[in-house]
Every structure is written in C-alpha cells, then in structure tokens.
Amino acid sequence: MRITRLYSNKPDIFEPIEFNRRISVIVAEIHAPDVRDIDTHNLGKTKLGELIDFCLLKGKSNSQFLFKVPAFDTFTFFLELEVEGRGFVTVARPVNPGSRISILRSEHSILDAQSIPAEAWDQQGLAFERARKMLDGILGWDALAPWEYRKLVGYLIRTQQDYQDVFQLGKFSGKHQDWKPFVAHLLGLESTRVRALYDKRADVEALKGQLDTLVAEWGGHDDSASLDGLIALKKESLAERSAALDTFNFDAEDARVSELLAEDIEQRILRVNEERYELQQLLARIDTSLAERNITVKPRQIETLFAEAGVVLGEQVVRSFDELVAFNRAITAERREALQEQATRAESRMGVLSGELADLNEQRSRALAFLQESASLEKYKELSSDVSKLSSELAVLEARRESAARLINLRREHREAVEELGRIESQVEADLVNVSGDSSSRFAVLRSYFNEVVAYVTGQSAILTVRMNGAGGLDFAAEFVGESGTATGGDQGTTYKKLLCIAFDLAMLRSFIDVPFARFVYHDGALEQLEPRKREKLLEVFRQYAEHGVQIAFSALDSDFPGAVEDFLDADDIVVTLHDDGDDGRLFKMPAW
C-alpha cells in the first residue's frame, strides 16, 4: 500500500497533495530570522501526519485538532491509496460526523472522487468499525494476521512522541499484552505462543489477586476438616431444637437444661463463690496488717527513767534506739506498700468475679424459669430464639467452608497456571533461540537491515535484541554496540533514539517487501538535531529504500538540511512547501487556531 493523494472538499483552504512513489517531502521554510528558533507547529508540518492517520480511520478523540477546532466541522477529507495488485481505494471521512465513512474502489487513480456519483461508491456513510474491517480486507495484509492494519499504523506514521522508544509507541501505554505480542510478530517470532505467554501471565496475576482478596476477607483459613466437624455439630443441635419445635415435645430440652443447670452452671457458681470467699479472707488479713501500730517507746523517756534510778545511759545507746525505731518504720512502710498492691489486685479480681457470678445467676434463673414455666408458648419462644441463633452460626460456618474450598481450588489453579506459564516461557525462549540463530529468519534479516542503516548513518553498529525477563515476559531493545560487542549508551540520547526508530521502521518494511504489506512510512522532523554529515547520510538511506520499493515521506525545516534544500532534493521530491509569511504558507490556508 502506498499513498497517492490527500485532498478535501475545501481546496481553497487545504490544497490537494500529490505523493510521489518514492520520496515525498514536506518542507517548512522560515523566512523571518527572529523566529527561526520558535516552534513551527502552527505551519502544519506535524499536522499532516495526523491528517493521514485520521483518514486511515484512527478512532475519534477530543485531543485531535480536527475535533477541537469548530472551523473543521464542515471538512471532508479524501485519501487515495494504491494497493498492489488490487488497484486503488479512496477513503472519504467527514470531520462531522467522524464516524461515517465512504469507500470507493477503482481500477485507476481518480483525481477527485467528489466527481463520482454517490451510487458508484462501494459504500456510503458506512459505520466506523465496519469501514475499518472493509479497509482491512481491501489492503489484504495477511502477513499481519491475526491483527488488523491499524495496529501497524503507529510505526508507519511516527510523530514526535513516538520517537521515545523504538518498539513501544506513545499509543502503547497500556498493558504489555496489548503490544508486545504484536512487536514479536513483526520481528518474526511465533506470535501465537507469545500471545499465550501474556494471556497466561495475566491469568496468573488475576488468580494471585483473587487469592489475596480471599485471604484478606477470611484470614486464609482453609482447614476444611475442622469446619466440617463444627458444621456437623451445629446441624445436630439445630435438628434437635427444630424437632422439639415441630412436635411441641419439650422433654428432651427440659432434660438438657436440667443437666446444664446441675453439671455446669451450679459447679461454676460454686467455684466462683469459693474464690470470692478466699479473696474476702485475704482482704481481711491485709486490713488487719495495715492497721496503724504506733511505737510507744521513746529513747529520751527511757534515759530519764534510768537517770532517776541512778543509771546513766550513754549518748551512743540513745542514738542506737533512735536508729532502730527509724529502721522499723521504714520496713513497715515498704510492707504496707506491698500489702496495698496485693489488696488492689484482690479487689480487681473480686470485681471480675462479681460480674461473672451475676451472669451465672442470670443463666441459672433463666434455666430454672424454663423448667418451672408451665406455659408451652414461653418454651417455644425460647427454643425459637435458639434455632435462629444456631441457624446464623451455621450459615457463617458454611460460608467459611465455601471460602475454604474456594481458597483450596484457587491455590490449585494458581499452581497449575504458574506451571503452564513456565512451560510456555520455555517454548517462547526456545523459539527465540531458533529464530535469532537462523540467518534466513525474518528476525535475522530485519536485524541485519537495521544495523546497515544505523552503521551507514552513524558509523556505529547497532543490534536488535529480544530477551526473556524475570517476570515471564519479553523485553525488546535496540542498542548501539562498541567494538567489544557490548551495548553502549549511545541509544539514550533523544537524537539517536529517533534515528533508531527510523532505522527500525525502514528495516521492518523492507523485511516484508516480498509479501502484500505496507510500503509507506511518514517521519515527522526526521532530520532534526542530527549533525550535518549524518543528515546527509540519512537522506541517502531514504533514497536507497525508495529504490527498494518503500515510499518515504518526511517533514523538515529548510534549516534541517545540511546545505541548500535544492542540493539534496529534486524539485518534484517536495510535495508541500510551507512558510511563515502569512496564512498562505500554512497547511491550512487560514488563521492559526
């Protein structure tokens, strides 16, 4: 497929563009020196690529300039394509509505399809998706199957944002499975396996997400045997109470309550009362110990008493008595503090026991009331409450049992998916080794063409590589290599990245030259920022590839050429000349928007 012409229903605003079979250049001339360094997008050289993409049925988006500017609402654009062996096809697409497409097939090129009566068109006002399918069938790019032609258009029309990565275009910002299998296909790998690889990896990630969610909700409990036992016990209890309700026979329930009262509640009450009694005794002893005991013996009084009796006590004796009293008081203070702490703990435990005893007495009261109640209705209400509670508990256990079973199944499915992913990885890796080592494979041929272009323009070698990564996917790389054969950092600069992108597009198209495929490529600003010698070399490469059958179209400023434009281009190579001398110099002959 090549482009022959692009025109509109308003030729006074948008002049028809006739494309050459080999080289078609859109040149923007900057006549005002003071604005030479200013962005020249308002002239329209970048917009031309977007316009071709629009006519190749790119999906409608508010970011497209045609839909943002009301002045374009009345425009209809026509793109004529030459399809090898199938004649010509004209695609007519109005801006409003942009979703209704007309298609005209013809044996010969038609200068202006507007002159053809409506009834002679193959389709008029065709729905957008149907028009895409029809155009895909007309182009007949079987080598692209199972993808449609639109998947390739991003590599045929490189805008500035598409030079950031050789393989991942600006539009391929989604999941890897949306674009990596397609790139693998372009490189000649077995795309069916690569698609299976990414599909299976998505399955593994999805199962892992489900596992994480289920574990977060249920705590990862998967002891199904224990749950089955609990469920069985609950069902037995529920069946007994339900049977009592159905028959209004409460003998079994009376016996159960009597047994519970005698063997459980009474024993628990007894144990609580015993512990309470012991604590009460302990608190009484602590109170006695904490009673204030005054030391009545005073050393000075004793000294006076002995003096009256004729005995003189030494000062040292009196002082020892004072120290003994102080020591005794210190010991007493420490002991009081320990006793108070023990009393606090005992009182706290007494509070707990009091609450427990109150609860047990309430249970005993209810049990006794059940046994003593003569009205069957009250017993029925009590049993109904128990049945409802047991049913709720059983429902929770069964839900946990279901989650446990689901968790077990998910873990099994996840293990199997991981194993299958590993098997597919091995197949893809083996295929990659075979294709890379086969000098006649498409990948090897494309890789050779790619290196030829880069080496001719830069004097450096470059390689295309495909590697398996640790996440179970493919990584694509286009790299400069040094004399030692190791990758260098030359591919990191913006200018060289653009050159690598251009080289890949050209090499890819040439590798498909033997089958029905695209023969057209458009590079916006192809020469920008390259050194003069490299610009000259790239222009030579463009001519070489034009001789190989690739239709080359690119846009450039007049200052992008390594010398005078006419020294590097033939007069008929230039299909559009833009300039900054007014509205007539723009792609659309109207004020800038």
The full DSSP string for 329-381 is: HHHHHHHHHHHHHHHHHHHHHHHHHHHHHHHHHHHHHHHHHHHH---HHHHHH
The DSSP call for residue 487 is B
Mark which of 327, 346, 372 sits at the end of a domain.
372
CA–CA separation, 168 and 149 (whole Å): 17
286 contacts 339 by C-beta, under 8 angstroms: yes
Q: Do 192 and 229 fall into the same domain? A: no
450 neighbors 507 (Cβ within 8 angstroms): yes
Do 117 and 74 share a structural domain?
yes
- Is there a domain that residue 537 lies in? yes
One domain for residues 46 and 165: yes
Burial class (CB in 10 A: 0-12, 13-18, 19+), 403: buried
**Residues comprising the chain, all counted:** 593
462 domain-assigned: yes
Q: Tell me what pLDDT residue 347 has.
A: 87
Same domain, 14 and 120: yes
566 and 446 together in one domain: yes
Query: If you ran DSSP here, which 8-state letter would residue 293 be given?
Result: -
Q: How far apart are CA 164 and CA 168, in angstroms?
A: 8
**178 and 275 in a common domain:** no
Q: Are residues 366 and 437 in the same domain?
A: no
Q: How many domains would you assign to the chain?
A: 2
Which of 343, 372, 401 marks a domain boundary? 372
DSSP notation for 40-101: -GGGSHHHHHHHHHHHTTPPP-TTSHHHH-GGGTT-EEEEEEEETTTEEEEEEEESTTTTEE
Domain carrying residue 328: 224-372
Return the CATH number at 522. 3.40.50.300
d(CA 186, CA 164): 19
- pLDDT of 453 reads 97
Q: Contacts for 187-192 with beta carbons within 8 Å, 24 or more apart?
A: 187/435, 187/442, 187/443, 187/446, 187/464, 187/466, 187/476, 188/435, 188/441, 188/442, 188/443, 188/446, 188/511, 189/428, 189/431, 189/432, 189/435, 189/443, 189/466, 190/428, 190/431, 191/146
Instruction: With residue 6 as reference, give the H or E element that holds it.
Output: strand 2-8
Both tokens of 393, joined, read 């508990």
Residues in contact with 529: Cβ distance below 8 Å, sequence separation at least 6, in sequence order: 494, 495, 498
**Domain shared by 173 and 271, yes or no:** no
Q: Is residue 402 part of a domain?
A: no
Residue 385 located in a structural domain: no
Claim to verify: residue 342 and residue 446 sit in the same structural domain: no
- Specify if 36 maps to a domain: yes
Q: What is the pLDDT of residue 315?
A: 61
- Asked whether residue 314 is domain-assigned, the answer is yes
- Residue 10 token pair: 């308003």
Asked, for residue 411, whether it belongs to a domain, the answer is no
Task: Report pTM.
Answer: 0.70
Going by the DSSP 8-state scheme, the letter that residue 459 receives in this structure is S
Q: Is 180 in the same domain as 278?
A: no
Q: Is the peptide bond before 16 cis (omega within 30 degrees of 0)?
A: no
- Quick one: 348 and 441 in the same domain? no
What's the angle, vertex CA 544, arms to CA 539 and CA 550, rounded to 5? Answer: 100
pLDDT given at position 246: 63
What is the residue-level pLDDT of the chain in tens, covering all 593 positions?
A: 999 999 999 999 999 999 999 999 999 998 876 654 444 547 888 899 999 999 999 998 888 899 989 999 999 999 999 998 889 999 999 999 889 999 999 999 999 999 999 999 999 999 999 999 999 999 999 999 999 999 999 999 998 888 989 998 876 656 788 899 999 999 999 889 999 999 999 899 998 888 887 777 655 555 555 555 566 666 666 676 666 666 655 555 566 666 566 567 777 887 888 888 788 888 887 887 777 555 555 666 666 666 666 555 556 555 666 666 666 666 677 777 887 888 888 888 888 888 888 888 887 777 666 655 545 556 666 767 776 776 776 666 556 666 667 777 888 888 999 999 999 999 999 999 999 999 999 999 999 999 999 999 999 999 999 999 888 889 999 989 876 666 665 555 778 899 999 999 999 999 999 999 999 999 999 999 899 999 999 999 999 999 999 999 999 999 999 989 999 999 899 999 999 888 899 999 998 87
Q: What is the pLDDT of residues 159-169, one digit of tens each?
A: 888 898 999 88
Residue 167 · residue 501 · CB < 8 Å: no
Instruction: Determine, yes or no, domain membership for 319.
Output: yes
Token digits of residue 61: 């988006």
Could you tell me the two tokens for 225?
């045997």
Q: What is the pLDDT of residue 38?
A: 43
- 231 with 350, same domain: the answer is yes
